[in-house]
Chains A and B, each alone.
Chain A
Amino acid sequence: MRDTDNMEAEMEYDDGEEPSFSDPEDFVDESDQELLGDVLRDKPQEADGIDSVVKMSHLCRYMSISDEWEAPEKQPFKDFGNLRHWLEDPDCRDQYSVIYDSGERTGIFANDVKEPIEVEERARWTETYVRWSPKGTYLATFHQRGIALWGGEKFKQIQRFSHQGVQLIDFSPCERYVVTFSPLMDTKDDPQAIIIWDVLTGQKKRGFHCESSAHWPIFKWSPDGKFFARMTQDTLSIYETPSMGLLDKKSLRINGIKDFSWSPGDNIIAFWVPEDKDIPARVTLMQLPSRNEIRVRNLFNVVDCKLHWQKNGDYLCVKVDRTPKGTQGVVTNFEIFRMREKQVPVDVVEMKESIIAFAWEPNGSKFAVLHGESPRINVSFYHVKNNGKIDLIKMFDKQQANSIFWSPQGQFLVLAGLRSMNGALAFVDTSDCTMMNIAEHYMASDVEWDPTGRYVVTSVSWWSHKVDNAFWLWTFQGRLLQKTNKERFCQLLWRPRPPSLLTQEQIKLIKKDLKKYSKIFEQKDRLSQSKASKELVDKRRSMMEDYRKYRERTIDMYNEQKPLRLELRGGVDTDELDSNVDDWEEETIEFFINEEIIPIGDL
């Protein structure tokens, strides 16, 4: 276990780092449109056709460019080894990070059915919590000075980003960029609240102001990492990478925009706008970069909307809370957008009760809804079929649940009653909507599926409950495998896996031959079981031998001391219960034990 205190010293960010004198190709204009407010009265907008703006105070930098060009110094190549090393584990064990000791210790473990295998463990590796990058390549840790990224076989430090007082981070889906937020750093001239960094070079790409970090991430990424966007008052600003400039050099004015989100599968943004006088509320789907509105859906008497994308972007569900005309109450509809069909048809599912939770099946076309009010909470499973219908497959009532956790591979899910519902768990197979198992992890605060969908971890975090801090490992069917207690356990996060490199055809072939592969794996499992048994048996044997030897020595000593004992008690032998037979009187007593009445039948 290494002490990472020294890292603080390493984090010294070279202040006053001058841009290199040669003009790199992707030289980024550092100033933001907002910078110029106090320099020019009319803020020139990038939309006004101005290409780039240079602040006068920066001008001197360009004046002092030397006429002689010096080649930049070649940096020594830092080899971090194979950053995907963990995927090569011969037993395909997934890793997870564990923070415990109220944050003092962070460990990385490999998930083995017998017990967790410690891979790495360090004290004060992070000051608050950790995050994995979306494809699992990096582990990000938080420090007063900024963020550090670790990876490779030995979790060496790969990169660090200096952002004083950093509180939140976000990765682009492609892991090329990381976005950091700190409430401390912002000044009017130099926006530093949010900074976007290039992960591979460590360069600061662009800084932004930020009014409030309440809805993090402020910048939302397109699935391919080509664009990122944020919403401000009546405005949607979309930026492109790697330039970090506004797409088409201008933001979109969308009056009243309340919320937006990217499809996880395509470069499409969904956003919604509330009712404005006699213009109804509407949800719009916009294609980027073309900015074509491929679908607009009008909604009436809307109170609120929430956008839920299915993991592949196949479907969008808009949860609409409405107050129908002439009524006081709020009803909820689900507007289901079928993204893969022409014209994006929309189907509506009406819900009679208030909604507690909603979740799409990843990779699939089902969704689960928790609805009702405690103590009468129900779960309903729906299937979005190809024929334009949305069927209610099944409903279970009287559930103790407030959250839904689908397996990342679909089909299976866990219904959990976290925190105030005392950790009730239900394991469901949605292929036939059966309850595979009902269990409980008292006071569980979190549920995390492993990336393969084989295992589920339920845990009681010290951050929410001060005793019984532990994490439990279950199979996807709800069979409890392990309980691991960790002193003041805080957080467990599975390491994500990058998307499979296999094609759909290859996957189909493997599924066909699954029986063959199963046999090999079962044999392997049996071998390792018996190996474990043998180890355990050997260990016990040696422990017993040692113990016996100890007891023999002690009993020898005890026997030697007998004269001393007799002396201490004036000659009376009290060593055994029956040592003093002379002192006994024998009495025979009868006492009542049992009465049995046996009828002798009619004679």
Chain B
Amino acid sequence: MKPILLQGHERSITQIKYNREGDLLFSVAKDPIANVWYSVNGERLGTYTGHTGAVWCVDADWDTKNVLTGSADNSCRLWDCENVWYSVNGERLGTYTGHTGAVWCVDADWDTKNVLTGSADNSCRLWDCETGKQLALLETSSAVRTCGFDFSGNIIMFSTDKQMGYQCFLNYFDLRDPQQIEDNQPYQSVPCNESKITSAVWGPLGEFVIAGHENGEINQYSAKSGEILKTAKEHTKQINDIQSSVDLTMLISASKDCTAKLFDSTSLEHIKTFKTERPVNSAAISPIMDHVVMGGGQEAMEVTTTSTRIGKFEARFFHAAYEEEFGRVKGHFGPINCVAFHPDGKSYSSGGEDGYVRIHYFDPHYFDFELEA
């Protein structure tokens, strides 16, 4: 494996995302730029400059026409991707202005008609992707932490933080009913009494949202009634990240309790556990092999007390069926914040606290490798 080192950020990486075809890799960090890289050789194709605050999240729509970024500079921006092969200008298509606080999350529906953003200014906003017009402003009592469109793009969910005396809520809006938007009345608002939601993804068919909580619980919230359909109390500490498999049938949760766990999305049956000695920040499921990759490390505060020679900042590969670690990839000088598999499963990337993104293409050996069985 010859890793490709992407040096384009000056501060820690917050998120990395492949586009659906996998030829492009987007990276965003606490510095106010978003970068797009050609994933086959790490050539930087463009930079999306314009944000003035940390960029927390990025997503590309399903046929990579557009890229969305959400930032702490209170804006969410849409960028045109189409010309990225020919020009390195990262021509900016538009900006969604309106937020007055850091944008924590962004999502686009599956054919990029609408954009949803959630912000620390206590609002969730819906935008028309093409015109940039704000379609809806949904005010909340506290910062919006996660948001997303369901599989069909008709229903949106977002969760609010537990702050200033307000609880954490999970809200559902049906976009086909304008009355809900006008009255700022979600058809369903689910209070989360004990522990706030830290990460959430939609289920495979839009019937429920799977949310990870600060106390380590994972709950399935029905999109119809809002009630908890299933619960998994397997983790003992905060869930840091939840990612779905490419077919949305499984999900992997990365937790501060030093493990990552594999669940069935529909039944929330706990299938596998992968144990390490450090908190896990992010985990991903390989699209083609029975492998999972995990990244983590210590919390930023404690980083200075760890010897870098120990190499705890490694991406670790586990066999999904045997739960055994079979490989590690060193290289990061700080905790790994985000890992992602290329959609074709032939490479993976990791973004770290050190500000670097590393793309690794697997050796042929990786695909033949088998643990004795």
Contact = CB atoms under 8 A, between A and B. Distances in A.
Interface of A: 422, 440, 442, 467-468, 470, 485, 533, 536-537, 540-541, 543-544, 546-548, 550, 554-555, 557-558, 561, 564-565, 568-569, 572, 574-575, 577, 580, 583, 589
B3 interface: no
Contacts of B152: 568-569
A557 to B, nearest CB: 7
Given A468-B277, A554-B250, A569-B152, A544 B309 contact: no
Given A540-B371, A544-B321, A547-B320, A442 B307 contact: yes
Contacts of A422: 307
B372 A564 contact: no
Nearest to B307: A442
A442 B373 contact: no
A591 to B, nearest CB: 9
Contacts of A440: 307, 309
Interface string B270-303: 0110000100000000000010000000100010
B110 A589 contact: no
Contacts of B372: 533, 536-537, 540
Given A442-B307, A558-B204, A561-B205, 8 more contacts: A442-B306, A467-B305, A485-B277, A537-B372, A540-B372, A540-B373, A555-B249, A564-B205
A557 B298 contact: no
B346 to A, nearest CB: 12
Given A547-B320, A568-B151, A577-B20, A583 B307 contact: no
Contacts of B367: none
Interface in B317-336: 320-324
Interface string B327-369: 0000000000000000110000000000000000000000000
A104 to B, nearest CB: 16
A38 to B, nearest CB: 57
B271 A550 contact: yes
B110 A569 contact: yes
B290 A574 contact: no
Nearest to A578: B21
B175 to A, nearest CB: 13
B298 A467 contact: yes
Contacts of A541: 373
A577 B21 contact: yes
A485 B266 CA distance: 34
B151 A569 contact: yes
Nearest to B62: A574
B343 A577 contact: yes
Contacts of B323: 543
B164 interface: no
Contacts of B21: 577
Nearest to B206: A568
B249 A544 contact: no
Interface in B1-26: 20-22
Contacts of A572: 111
Given A485-B277, A568-B152, A577-B20, A544 B298 contact: no
Contacts of B309: 440, 442
Contacts of A547: 271-272, 290, 320-321
B330 to A, nearest CB: 15
A586 B298 CA distance: 46
Interface string B23-37: 000000000000000
Contacts of B277: 468, 470, 485
A468 B277 CA distance: 8
Given A547-B290, A574-B110, A568 B205 contact: yes
Contact of A577 (B110, B205, B344): B344
Contacts of B22: 577
B313 to A, nearest CB: 14
A485 B321 CA distance: 23
Nearest to A422: B307
Interface in B36-51: none
Contacts of A442: 306-307, 309-310
A543 B206 CA distance: 31
A535 to B, nearest CB: 12
Given A561-B205, A574-B62, A544 B322 contact: yes
Contacts of B205: 561, 564-565, 568
B250 A543 contact: no
Nearest to A593: B41
A589 B204 contact: no
A543 B321 contact: yes
Contacts of B272: 547
Contacts of A589: 85
Nearest to B323: A543
B63 interface: yes
Contact of A467 (B110, B204, B302): B302
B264 interface: yes
14 contacts: A442-B307, A470-B277, A540-B321, A544-B322, A546-B321, A547-B272, A547-B320, A554-B250, A561-B205, A565-B151, A565-B205, A569-B152, A572-B111, A577-B20
B182 interface: no
Contact of A554 (B249, B298, B305, B343): B249
Interface in B230-288: 247, 249-250, 264, 266, 271-272, 277
A543 B205 CA distance: 29
A564 to B, nearest CB: 6
A351 B249 CA distance: 72
A77 B288 CA distance: 68
A583 B63 contact: yes
Nearest to B246: A577
Contact of A557 (B20, B153, B266): B266
Nearest to A423: B307
Closest 4 CB pairs of A and B: A568-B152, A547-B321, A540-B373, A554-B249
Contacts of A485: 277
A540 to B, nearest CB: 4
Contacts of B111: 569, 572
Nearest to B302: A467
B224 to A, nearest CB: 15
Contacts of B264: 550, 554
Given A537-B372, A569-B110, A561 B321 contact: no
A568 B20 CA distance: 19
A548 B373 CA distance: 14
Nearest to A580: B63
A239 B264 CA distance: 73
Contacts of B302: 467
A422 B305 CA distance: 10
A436 B343 CA distance: 48
Contacts of B250: 554
Contacts of B204: 558, 561
Contact of B373 (A537, A561, A564, A580): A537
A540 B322 contact: yes
Contacts of A543: 321-323
A219 to B, nearest CB: 41
Nearest to B372: A537
A467 B373 CA distance: 35
A564 B150 CA distance: 13
A461 to B, nearest CB: 16
Nearest to A546: B321
A442 B305 CA distance: 10
